[in-house]
Amino acid sequence: MKGDYQDLVDEISALLGAPATLENRDFRLIAFGAHDSDSDSGELTLDPVRTRSILTRQSTAAVRAWFEGFGIARATGPVRIPAAPDAGVFRGRICLPVRSRGIVQGYVWLLDQEPGKPGPDPAALAAAMEVAQRIGVLLAEEAKAGADLSREFQAVLTAGRGWQQDMAVAALRAALGPGGDGLHAAVCVAPWPGETPASVPGAAAVCVVPLRGGGAGEPGDAAAAGPAGGLALAVLLRLRSTDALAPALTAVARLLPRAAEPAAAAAGSAAGAGTAGSRGSAGTAGSRTGAGTAGSRGGVGAAGSRTAAAAGASTGTGSAGPTGPQRMTAGVADPVRGLAELPAAWEQAMAAARAAAAEPRFGPVAQWAQIGPYRLLASLACDPVDDPAARTLLTPAHRELARTAEVFLDCAGQAGRAAAALGIHRQTLYYRLGRVEQLTGLDLDAGEDRLLLHMALKASRLA
């Protein structure tokens, strides 16, 4: 569907000889034409408002209110809007309302000619409006299809296992018709404020469901509400092929506040495995030697040339932990063919969204295939972590010790890298690790104890 919009926007650009952009009625970018330099001045035909719309896929509320003040939501023909340098609009605009059956579905925007230069030919404008009407029909059909199937889609995601789920899947397949056996990707956007968006490009169905996790029971149990009412937006994306997932992620990113173009997964390299070494004198922890299976506490070794920036980023103050503010993130499951795998795909999407909230390095839109160990941790952390060994360490009073332990384990037990990532002296690190051992009763020289603590720390940030 995105390709259809792009072709139509390019057609309008060709008709009017100017780059065009298409936004839905919520001012979220759907498609845009090429931006050439002005042939006379050589300056780019961009201004801050247009640049922001393309780069962040949306406009601010102030810009939206300013443009709507010219009556574009009620207009049935082209609307000329003058330049307003104080508002960041350096070039005037021509707005072509995109309507279907009298209801505005979006807007096509073009940069107007400079003052004193002739504007678009009236016949060309009329032809462009006909193209805009075709866009309006597509947007309306897409929104109607997603809204009409919201009940069937929600039933698949909230039905219990067994025959109830089989019946829900069968009902959704029948509603989708021949497209039900095609390629789809499930998307989870959370936390969601509750209002279903008017349209999501490329979506076969959209609904809002209670978000399970962090202590919630079954998906339909709204009593165990989490942040923002514990709601998530579920989107069933229609894909032409697995190669079409990247454009689909762009559509997902438009649903997020201040979302930028999503990249393929953050390559944030987690701390690699270290070589065996010794742990120096550790203050109250005593002097020990030997290495656990997760790495050594000794020197930097072969991996020492790499910094532990990724480890620090994953546990630093910029990270949204279980007690911090929760930002809106999205998770995308592996594409599935047919709907029988949809319930499992929804679990993947929820896990990826939670991983994106816990680890900013995954970006605001995380793919299940790219979240590494969080694929397992997310499935284990549907309930709050309450392992007796980590229970005391995970209390607010010991937050700094927990962060120290997580960075140390992220750095494969290499003291030099961990101390550098934390910005502390190595002896301070050893003292803190000794306190961690006292609080947990774990031996950080033992591989299984390290594994238990590492999993508990990571899982706690997903709760």
Residue 276, classified by CB atoms within 10 Å of its CB into exposed (0-12), middle (13-18) or buried (19+), is: middle
pLDDT at res. 357: 87
Query: What residues pair up with 80 in beta bridges, in sequence order?
Result: 94
pLDDT (tens digit per residue) in 445-455:
988 888 888 87
Over residues 123-176, the pLDDT tens digits come to 999 999 999 999 998 887 776 655 578 888 889 998 877 888 888 888 888 888
For residue 89, the model assigns a pLDDT of 66
Calpha distance 233→158 (Å, rounded): 13
Confidence band for 349, pLDDT divided at 50, 70 and 90: very high
Partnered with residue 83 across adjacent β-strands are none
Q: Which residues of 78-116 are buried (b: 16+ CB within 10 A; e: fewer)?
A: bbebebeeeebbbbbbbbbbbbbeeebbbbbbbbbeeee
SS3 440: helix
- Is pLDDT larger for residue 381 or for residue 285? 381
Residue-level pLDDT at 151: 85
Give the per-residue pLDDT at 219.
Answer: 36
Mean pLDDT of 267-285: 33
**Using one digit for the tens of pLDDT, what is the confidence trace for 387-416?**
788 888 888 899 899 899 989 988 988 999
Q: Judge whether residue 108 has pLDDT over 90.
A: yes
Which residues on neighbouring strands pair with residue 366, listed in sequence order? 331
- Phi and psi angles of residue 98, each rounded to the nearest 5 degrees, phi first: -105, 110
What's the whole-number mean pLDDT along residues 104-132?
Answer: 85
- Which of 100-104, 250-254, 346-350, 382-386 has the lowest average pLDDT? 382-386
Q: Please determine, for residue 263, whether its predicted confidence score (pLDDT) is greater than 90.
A: no
Q: How far, CA to CA in Å, does 199 sit from each of 138, 152, 458?
A: 11, 17, 35
* Averaged pLDDT for residues 87-112: 84
Question: Of the candidates 373, 361, 378, which has an alpha carbon nearest to the alpha carbon of residue 188?
Answer: 378
What domains, with CATH codes, occur in the chain?
A: 2-142 (3.30.450.40), 149-255+326-358 (no CATH), 279-319+376-460 (no CATH)
pLDDT of residue 354: 87
Note the pLDDT of residue 224.
33
Give percent of the chain above pLDDT 90: 21
What is the band of 3 on the pLDDT scale with cuts at 50, 70, 90?
A: low
Is the pLDDT assigned to residue 316 strictly greater than 80?
no
Alpha-carbon separation of residue 133 from 8, 32, 73, 76, 109 (angstroms): 10, 17, 14, 10, 14
Residue 283 scores a pLDDT above 80: no
pLDDT, mean of residues 93-115: 86
**DSSP character string of 303-350:** GGGS--HHHHHHHSTTS--TTSPPPPEEEEPPPEESSTTHHHHHHHHH
Residue 271 in this model has a pLDDT that exceeds 60: no
Instruction: Express as a percent the part of the chain with pLDDT over 70.
Output: 68
pLDDT at residue 98, rounded to an integer: 94
Which tokens go with 427? 């002896």
For the segment 1-11, the average pLDDT, to the nearest whole number, is 78
Q: Which of 435, 422, 443, 420 is nearest to 299 (CA)?
A: 420
Q: Which residue has the higher pLDDT, 377 or 349?
A: 349
Exposure string for 223-245, b = 16+ CB within 10 A, e = fewer: eebbeeebbbbbbbbbbeeeebb
Measured CA to CA, the distance from residue 23 to residue 33 in angstroms comes to 12
| Residues linked to residue 308 through DSSP beta bridges, in sequence order | none
* Residue 460 to residue 431: CA distance in whole angstroms: 23
pLDDT in tens, 35-84: 444 444 434 445 555 555 554 445 666 777 878 889 998 999 999 988 77
Q: What is the mean pLDDT of the chain?
A: 73
- Quickly state the pLDDT bin for 298 (edges 50, 70, 90): very low
Structure-model confidence comparison of residues 299 and 135, the more confident one: 135
Query: How far is it, in rounded angstroms, from Cα 242 to Cα 335?
Result: 7
- Of residues 187 and 282, more confidence is placed in 187
Q: In sequence order, what are the residues at sequence separation of 6 or more whose Cβ sits closer than 8 angstroms to the Cβ of residue 204? A: 145, 146, 149, 176, 179, 184, 236, 237, 238
Question: Quick count: other Cβ atoms within 10 Å of Cβ 31?
Answer: 20
pLDDT at residue 293 in the model: 33
